[in-house]
Amino acid sequence: MSLLARPLRAAVCTVLVLSGCVTAGPAAADAPACGHGRALRYVVAFDRGTTESAAREQVTAACGATTGYYPQIAVAVATSGDPSFGARIGLDRAFSAQAERLAAQRVTEVRPQPARATLPVTDPARVPTADLSGQQWDMRMINAGQATGDSDGRRDVVVGVLDSGIDPDHPDLTGALDRDDSAGCLTGEPDRSPSAWAPTTSVHGTHVAGIIAAADDGRGVTGVAPGVRVASVKVIDDRGYADPEAAVCGLMWAASRHLRLTNSSFFVNPWTLSCIRGDDRGVVHEVLARAVEYSTSAGTLNVAAATNEAVDLTPSARSGSAGPGSGCEALPAGLRDVVAVSAVGSDRVKAGYSSYGLGVIDVTAPGGETGECVLSTVPGGYAPLCGTSMAAPHVTGVLALLAAASPSAGPRQLRRTLDAQAMPMPCPADYDLTGDGTQDAYCAGYEGFNGFYGHGMVDALAAAAPRGKPDLAR
């Protein structure tokens, strides 16, 4: 499962290493007859600068069919029923999450996970109208309640919610939903039809969207940045999986639509505990890194949850040098241009489930703990959920406030201001959550920047610049 509203599990798989040298597939004349089996989807990384026609030729020669190509990053989405497709085109550049899950099921004899129940259609007239803002401890923690007065410029800010879909009928979100910029990306290619981006089995995306932009209308909940718009970019399927081709599609779609921000409250990684050990970063890392790099250069700042696996993501351990850490990498949160977010509970202490890591975590925000989760919108009403999934949209909402106050600010300017305005939080003197006398995690760094909280707690009040404040991009 890839949603970050609860502890995660994924299949163990063979790590694929992306080498610096990419070789062409066998010539069609020399290739053996194509095999036939279940058609599976692959993401394929080519040398940068590879044309679409050249990529299609290589995919065809390897017994596959190209269904999409992103020439800006030289990444293709392909399908093939030949079990040898990956080997033919090169295991150093092709990956199929579907194939890895099937292989894991065969090895462990685990039956495929059944589909979830379909969500009921929201009847706006039956959504509770009571004001629930008194239960939003999370908003008070980041000073969001004091930052909702001036909404100038917010309608011009569109946030891509890369998730499981946003309920188009929820009264707290209907005014915020940007249907024109919404798309479904489950196949690796954007589909703008409403049925492709609407939620079908999961409340997750609707909950995340509410934290960012739920209306300040005196009923239900209020988001961090009411007045900004959200686009539903569906990358999580009905079983909770976010495959790499879907994530690449979502990032590239956001860039093509010039969205200021994206929120990724999921992880893309078929390895257990988000771990790609040693230097085995693989195709998944490469295609996502290219997509994030491109979207950042196009003006989109990406925010991602650190995962709920309580692992140390400190990069020194991945590079083979001495130091703490598990050798794990969270994708996309661990990528250089992504704002990675850890979660705290109502006590302002890192939540036990939240992953962490010096040099990875940029800022922290409320994610809740069992018994006191974050209340937000869900189809049909409101519900509490806990996780770094909930922490990340608080940060995205604060960035949306910054973007509205500074229309010319690019990703790097927004990020610098976010870090500078964060409220520093020192490492806890004692992090023994279970009371057994043993530290449950170790926080490296100092008050202004550490592995638990990064630069600190985000501050919505500071981000909601008063009218007339100079544009931070200038």
The overall longest dimension of the chain from CA atoms, in Å, is 70
Inside any domain, residue 76: no
Instruction: List, as one string, the DSSP characters of 411-465.
Output: HHHHHHHHHHHSB--PPPS---SSSSSS-SS---EETTEETTTBT-B--HHHHSP
Inside any domain, residue 355: yes
Inside any domain, residue 15: no
Residue of 220, 217, 201, 205 lying closest to 375 (CA atoms): 220
The CATH number linked to 259 is 3.40.50.200
389 classed as catalytic: yes
CA triple 73-209-201, angle to 5 deg? 85
CA dist list (Å): 142 to 113, 225, 293:
38, 12, 29
Q: CA-to-CA distance for 52 and 142, rounded, in angstroms?
A: 46
Do residues 366 and 343 lie in contact, with contact meaning Cβ atoms separated by under 8 Å? yes
User: For residue 238, what are the domain limits?
Assistant: 128-463
19 classed as catalytic: no
- Token pair recorded at residue 192: 């703008």
170 classed as catalytic: no
Looking at the whole model, is its pTM more than 0.75? yes
Amino acid identity of 263? N
Inside any domain, residue 27: no
Inside any domain, residue 283: yes
Tens digits of pLDDT across the chain (474 residues)? 455 554 333 332 322 222 223 334 444 455 568 988 899 999 999 999 999 999 999 999 999 999 999 999 999 999 999 999 999 999 899 999 999 888 877 766 555 566 678 998 999 999 999 999 999 999 999 999 876 545 778 999 999 999 999 999 999 999 999 999 999 999 999 999 999 999 999 999 999 999 999 999 999 999 999 999 999 999 999 999 999 999 999 999 999 999 999 999 999 866 654 565 433 358 999 999 999 999 999 999 999 999 999 999 997 644 444 445 566 889 999 999 999 999 999 999 999 999 999 999 999 999 999 999 999 999 999 999 999 999 999 999 999 999 999 999 999 999 999 999 999 999 999 999 999 999 999 999 999 999 999 999 999 999 986 544 545 544
Residue 69: how many CB atoms within 10 A of its CB?
23
Instruction: List, as one string, the DSSP characters of 8-54.
Output: ------------S---PPPPTTTSPPPP----EEEEEE--TT--HHH
Inside any domain, residue 303: yes
3-class SS of residue 310:
coil
Which of 96, 264, 389, 406 is the catalytic position? 389
Would you give the DSSP letter of residue 279? T
The structural domain count of the chain equals 1
Which of 2, 96, 164, 204 is the catalytic position? 204
Contact partners, residue 293, CB within 8 Å, separation at least 6: 73, 337
Inside any domain, residue 102: no
Which of 82, 163, 167, 243 is the catalytic position? 163
Q: CA-to-CA distance for 412 and 299, rounded, in angstroms?
A: 9
Do residues 168 and 179 lie in contact, with contact meaning Cβ atoms separated by under 8 Å? yes
Inside any domain, residue 19: no
